[in-house]
């Protein structure tokens, strides 16, 4: 079973801006009939929720705040992503929206409703919104496999009587526990590595600073994962499996985010070592 991820690498806030200007890559013509209104509907959604916020488009990349591009399929499990990084062909932050997915080794077009949800999510990151811990929130980071997404999106989860919340709660309780357990020792190991690191090169010091930032985020995400796991356990004792599922799912997601930050620490340390070596 695949997990379709709504991905973000950092955020850039336009909270004080009246207008967010987008450079929109042209959508392939054979998809315009099915998805042509998606971006308009997504921007209208955020404009309605954020009085004073407006989205506009430009034909000149240099005048854009963000680039929106369309993809035929997601890569590495990503259903879409947003990155504020400008080290790309556009020189601008980018929101990528995918229009299809692989399932059972076959490629399928996503439904317009699903693509709209993804577009709303990635534009939310573009205006500075972080992930939400509420699975019912548009800024929640993941959705289940496409079939489950279709089923669960028909009714709010609390009222979806066909869902086995007890089983889902147990599933994510196990996943959360399995992911959280090794994180404490991994974080301790990275802290020892960081404490021992020292560089003379300014560029290497900057990379080390990035590594420390990733370290503190890893600790923060682990703390949230442990707290929400504990809350989930209390809800299980009350046989509230719907809400315990929410807590355990959030716990698992934050534990995975901690894992990602731990990996980044290694990458930054390796970068610092390489920069220090070059300057010797």
For the record, the structure tokens of 144 come out as 């289940």
Confidence of residue 162 (pLDDT cuts 50, 70, 90): very low
User: How much is the pLDDT for 177?
Assistant: 93
How far apart are the C-alpha atoms of 247 and 227, rounded to whole Å? 9
Q: Return the higher-pLDDT residue of 179 and 275.
A: 179
169 and 155 belong to one structural domain = no
Q: Return the higher-pLDDT residue of 208 and 155.
A: 208
216 and 154 belong to one structural domain = no
62 and 10 belong to one structural domain = yes
211 and 237 belong to one structural domain = yes
Q: Is the pLDDT of residue 234 over 50?
A: yes
Q: DSSP label at 59? A: S
Confidence of residue 1 (pLDDT cuts 50, 70, 90): very low
Confidence of residue 155 (pLDDT cuts 50, 70, 90): very low
50 and 117 belong to one structural domain = yes
174 and 147 belong to one structural domain = no
CATH of the domain at 98: 3.40.390.10
Confidence of residue 15 (pLDDT cuts 50, 70, 90): very low
pTM above 0.85, yes or no: no
186 and 149 belong to one structural domain = no
The tens digit of pLDDT for each residue in 236-277 reads: 999 988 888 888 888 888 888 889 889 989 999 998 888 877
144: containing domain: 4-159
Residues whose CB falls within 8 Å of the CB of residue 263, separated by 6 or more in sequence, listed in order: none
Q: Is the pLDDT of residue 122 over 60?
A: yes
User: How much is the pLDDT for 18?
Assistant: 77
User: How much is the pLDDT for 150?
Assistant: 42
How far apart are the C-alpha atoms of 150 and 130, rounded to whole Å? 24
Q: What is the mean pLDDT of residues 142-169?
A: 51
102 and 201 belong to one structural domain = no
Q: Which of 140, 159, 178 is the last residue before a domain boundary? A: 159
Q: Which of 99, 130, 159 is the last residue before a domain boundary? A: 159
Q: Is the pLDDT of residue 76 over 60?
A: no
User: Other CB atoms closer than 10 Å to residue 44's CB: what's the count?
Assistant: 12
Confidence of residue 134 (pLDDT cuts 50, 70, 90): low
232 and 193 belong to one structural domain = yes
Q: What is the mean pLDDT of residues 91-109?
A: 77
Q: Is the pLDDT of residue 213 over 70?
A: yes
Question: 77, 70, 96: which is closest to 85 by C-alpha?
Answer: 96
132 and 238 belong to one structural domain = no
28 and 108 belong to one structural domain = yes
Q: Which of 159, 183, 210 is the last residue before a domain boundary? A: 159
State the chain's mean pLDDT as an integer.
79
155-162, Cβ contacts within 8 angstroms, sequence gap of 24 or more: 157/242, 158/242
Q: Is the pLDDT of residue 202 over 50?
A: yes
Beta bridge partners of 94: 67, 83
Q: What total number of domains does the chain contain? A: 2
Contact 259, 221 (CB under 8 A): no
Maximum mean pLDDT: which of 99-108, 112-121, 128-137, 144-153: 112-121
219 and 261 belong to one structural domain = yes
User: How much is the pLDDT for 133?
Assistant: 63
- Which stretches of 181-201 are DSSP H helices? 183-196
Q: What is the mean pLDDT of residues 157-172?
A: 67
């Amino acid at each position: 079973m695949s997990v379709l991820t709504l991905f973000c690498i950092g955020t850039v806030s336009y909270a004080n801006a009246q207008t967010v200007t987008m450079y929109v890559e042209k959508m392939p013509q054979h998809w315009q009939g099915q998805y042509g209104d998606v971006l308009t509907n997504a921007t209208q959604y955020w404009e309605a929720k954020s009085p004073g916020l407006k989205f506009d488009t430009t034909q000149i990349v240099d005048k854009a705040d963000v680039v929106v591009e369309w993809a035929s399929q997601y890569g590495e499990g990503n259903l879409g992503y947003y990155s504020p990084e400008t080290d790309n062909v556009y020189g601008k932050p980018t929101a990528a929206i995918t229009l299809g997915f692989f399932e059972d080794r076959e490629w399928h077009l996503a439904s317009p409703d699903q693509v709209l949800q993804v577009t709303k999510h990635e534009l939310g990151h573009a205006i500075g919104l972080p992930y939400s811990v509420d699975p019912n929130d548009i800024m929640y980071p993941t959705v289940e496999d496409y079939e489950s997404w279709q089923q669960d999106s028909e009714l709010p989860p609390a009222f979806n009587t066909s869902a086995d919340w007890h089983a889902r709660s147990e599933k994510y309780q196990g996943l959360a526990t399995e992911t959280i357990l090794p994180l404490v020792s991994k974080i301790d190991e990275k802290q020892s590595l960081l404490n021992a690191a020292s560089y003379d090169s300014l560029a290497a010091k900057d990379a080390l600073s990035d590594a420390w930032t990733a370290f503190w985020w890893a600790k923060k995400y682990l703390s949230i994962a442990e707290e929400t796991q504990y809350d989930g356990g209390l809800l299980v004792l009350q046989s509230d499996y719907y809400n315990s599922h929410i807590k355990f799912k959030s716990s698992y997601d934050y534990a995975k985010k901690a894992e990602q930050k731990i990996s980044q620490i290694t990458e930054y340390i390796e970068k610092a070592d390489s920069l220090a070596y070059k300057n010797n």
